[in-house]
Homo-oligomer: A and B are copies of this chain.
Amino acid sequence: MGPQKNTYIRISLPAVCFVWQIAMVLLFGIFIRYNEEADAHWVEHKQQHNLTDIDNDFYFRYPSFQDVHVMIFVGFGFLMTFLKRYSFGGVGFNFLIAAFGLQWALLMQGWFHSLDQDTGKIYIGIENLINADFCVAGCLIAYGALLGKVSPVQLMVVTLFGITLYAVEEYIILNLLHCRDAGGSMVIHCFGGYYGLAISWVLYRPNLHQSKHNEGSVYHSDVFAMIGTLFLWMFWPSFNSAITNHGDGQHRAVINTYIALAASVVTAVAISSMFHSKGKLDMVHIQNATLAGGVAMGTSAEFMISPYGALIVGFFMGIISTFGYVIVTPFLAKSLKLQDTCGVHNLHAVPGMLGGFIAAIVAAFASDSVYSHQGLINTFDLTGEYASRTMSTQGGYQAAGTCVAMAFGLIGGAIVGLILKLPIWGDPADDNCFDDEAYWEVRADAEDQDELKVV
């Protein structure tokens, strides 16, 4: 591996883009239609059901949707601009795979969740758009582990399989196991994190140290990354509440997430300072570990975990995640040959997994007295065949769901990793990683030019 590698993608990238985009047009033409709230027949529908316009789900969810949308494109995108010479790839490929992925997600999730058996059509509305964005988030998390080491064509493959795996594990966890996972600690973060880690592990590059000079940040690239961090942090309450129940469900999920995130910041700062010989803070920790509380609250945000429960979750996640960046990531790189560019192990995989188990415990202890009888039924959707499920059983299923998410991530990622080892994808050589020059037309900087003049 090395000099013989070729990053020429002039044929493969356009080919993949066009083939897949044309497939999307055909499949959308066959399957996708507006649901009754977005169709012009709404005027008839609302008369029949005695509704007014404000009852349209659009008004309950659109503000949250737009916040989620910002997290996907600016949040994840700018968080990955921190590398000194891979900012274009960070924000640009994030843009590409999210835009492609959400189309495929509308189809995959539609087939599993919104397919009308009579007409064979998928009827979409605002909640489908939110779920498509969620689905894409899983792939963007995986991208965090691969940042700078793969080609855009490989990322399209990661996304195609990632969305597919996501839709299946989500169906198993939410429908078959009947788990709750509003903010996706399990289905998004745990799955996405382990999916990316498994791929990265299979694609291990023994000579990655040859790109050492490009790994790491410069002053302004760290400030750019803070744009990503802050938009993720601020809008995480919207993420965890976007598809929860109307009324108290959305309201409570926002409060819990807001509180958990605040605690994460304070403990992440404490640990970051503690592990530096002079007590200085590390931007990597501030950019990432401050978000761990939001990840871990993903599943239990809609539960009656109580404000201090949320605070405790955030408290420990800030510690665990920062500790991961200081100790675990270097250990994994050395011992397990796991190269995890953004540390998704510490921000998504572990906090997501822990969030799943925390929610299992919170669910197991849920009771009529805390939730009210109807409140408990609404929160856990204990209707139909699930009406008689006890809360300890529900807790068990929540824990099982977390394991399913992890298994899908690890096994699916290993298989996709093997596919990506084929020598046809135009990925960079070991001494050419973390460098935008490989896939982007990069103009010489004014500063560079001035320096040339100095010479």
Contacts and interface: CB of A to CB of B under 8 A. Distances in A.
Given A66-B67, A273-B14, A40 B375 contact: yes
Contact of A254 (B58, B78, B231, B445): B58
Contacts of A238: 66
A270 B13 contact: yes
A87 B225 CA distance: 12
A290 to B, nearest CB: 7
A442 B219 contact: yes
A227 B227 contact: yes
Interface stretch (A124-132, A178-186, A352-360): A124-132
A278 B10 contact: yes
A240 to B, nearest CB: 13
Contacts of A372: 40-41, 43-44
A25 B308 contact: yes
A264 B95 CA distance: 11
Contact of A234 (B25, B73, B282, B311): B73
Nearest to A70: B234
Contacts of A84: 445-446
A46 to B, nearest CB: 7
A401 to B, nearest CB: 21
A44 B374 contact: yes
Question: How many A residues are at the interface, by size bracket?
Answer: 35 or more
A64 B59 CA distance: 11
Nearest to A25: B311
A51 to B, nearest CB: 9
Given A21-B270, A129-B255, 11 more contacts: A17-B269, A34-B306, A40-B252, A42-B375, A62-B250, A63-B66, A66-B235, A95-B233, A102-B262, A103-B262, A281-B439
Q: Which 3 A-B pairs have the closest CB atoms?
A: A10-B279, A40-B375, A42-B248
21 contacts: A14-B270, A14-B279, A17-B269, A28-B259, A29-B308, A33-B307, A40-B248, A41-B371, A42-B375, A43-B378, A58-B247, A62-B250, A66-B67, A70-B234, A84-B446, A85-B219, A91-B223, A91-B226, A125-B255, A279-B439, A283-B441
Interface of A: 7-14, 17-18, 20-21, 24-25, 28-29, 32-34, 37-44, 46, 53-56, 58-60, 62-64, 66-67, 69-70, 73-74, 77-78, 81, 84-85, 87-88, 91-92, 95-96, 99-100, 102-103, 106, 124-126, 129, 152, 216-220, 222-224, 226-227, 230-231, 233-235, 237-238, 246-248, 250-252, 254-255, 258-259, 261-267, 269-271, 273-274, 276-283, 286, 290, 304, 306-308, 311-312, 315, 370-372, 374-376, 378-379, 439-443, 445-448, 450-451, 454-455
